[in-house]
């Protein structure tokens, strides 16, 4: 059952999309095909991405109201949780959208990686014709050298570093700016400390993790992260102009 769902929902569509773009793009450049399918995936996820960005911005706006609730219900956690969710609902915020977006992309990234290195038993540049949809043709050319320089199937430090740098830029643009911790604070504010910790992890640790993953797997994954991050950066500027 799991295998059927995996192939039907994730792997087969990604594999066929990749082969389609390899066949469509002149010269059969697999790297350009990966960029094309990444753009398609990001456009499919665009509604979720925009809602996630808007939720992050809205969370900053309602922060004073959340602080009021915290002070009001400091001795009643259940009432605080209920009131907080009411504020989220009133503001049209779903705090779990960002997490959902991450989990949705994980099987897509894995599918793209496996489409290149294994292809369901046949690694590129060979094509597993048994997996192709009726309207997808076998490419005449399959070029594994991205722009004639980078071998898509192997590791690439430059692309991995670029993935990490673009992830850092994206996080710096999308994360709300935290207020500096007051030097005269005597009481430990666990909420503020947790927020600062999450900010540091997303802003500095996550780019390192992305760089490591992108290099550990292959240039395929690195290209996905780079294109995905660049689109997220562009999306952030669009949202800022229209909010």
pLDDT at 162: 95
SS3 of the chain: the string is CHHHHHHHHHHHHHHHHHHHHHHHCHHHEHHHHHHHHHHHHHHHCHHHHHHHHHHHHHHHHCHHHHHHHHHHCCCCHHHHHHHHHHHHHHHCCCCCHHHHHHHHHHHHHHHHHHHHHCHHHCCCCCCCHHHCCCCCCCCCCCECEECCCEECCCCCHHHHHHHHHHHHHHHHHHCCCCCCCCCCCCCCCHHHHHHHHHHHHHHHHHHHHHHHHHHHCCHHHHHHHHHHHHHHHHHHHHHHHHC
pLDDT in tens, 161-193: 999 999 988 888 776 565 555 554 444 444 445
Share above pLDDT 90 across residues of the chain, in percent, rounded to a whole number = 37
pLDDT in tens, 13-64: 999 999 999 999 999 999 999 999 999 998 888 887 777 777 767 777 777 7
pTM here is 0.78
Structure-model confidence comparison of residues 211 and 58, the more confident one? 211
**Domain definitions of the chain by residue range:** 2-242
pLDDT in tens, 113-139: 999 988 878 889 999 999 999 999 999
As a whole number, mean pLDDT of residues 63-80 equals: 74
Look at 1-15, 181-195, 200-214 and tell me which has the smallest mean pLDDT. 181-195
């Amino acid at each position: 059952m799991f295998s059927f769902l995996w192939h039907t929902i994730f792997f087969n569509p990604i594999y066929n999309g990749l082969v389609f773009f390899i066949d469509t793009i002149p010269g059969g450049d697999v790297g350009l095909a990966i960029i094309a399918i990444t753009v398609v995936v990001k456009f499919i996820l665009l509604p979720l991405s925009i809602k996630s960005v808007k939720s992050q911005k809205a969370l900053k706006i309602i922060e004073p109201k959340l602080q009021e609730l915290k002070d009001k219900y400091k001795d009643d956690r259940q009432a605080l949780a209920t009131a907080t969710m009411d504020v989220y609902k009133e503001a049209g915020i779903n705090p779990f959208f960002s997490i959902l977006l991450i989990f949705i992309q994980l099987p897509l990234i894995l599918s793209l990686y496996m489409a290149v290195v294994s292809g369901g038993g046949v690694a590129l540049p060979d094509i597993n014709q048994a997996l192709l949809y009726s309207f997808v043709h076998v490419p005449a050319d399959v070029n594994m050298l991205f722009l004639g320089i980078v071998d898509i199937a192997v590791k690439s430090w430059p692309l991995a570093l670029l993935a990490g740098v673009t992830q850092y830029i994206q996080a710096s643009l999308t994360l709300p700016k935290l207020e500096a911790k007051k030097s005269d604070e005597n009481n430990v504010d666990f909420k503020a400390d947790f927020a600062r910790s999450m900010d540091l992890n997303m802003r500095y640790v996550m780019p390192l993790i992305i760089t490591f993953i992108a290099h550990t797997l292959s240039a395929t994954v690195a290209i996905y992260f780079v294109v995905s991050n660049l689109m997220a950066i562009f999306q952030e500027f669009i949202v800022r102009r229209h909010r």
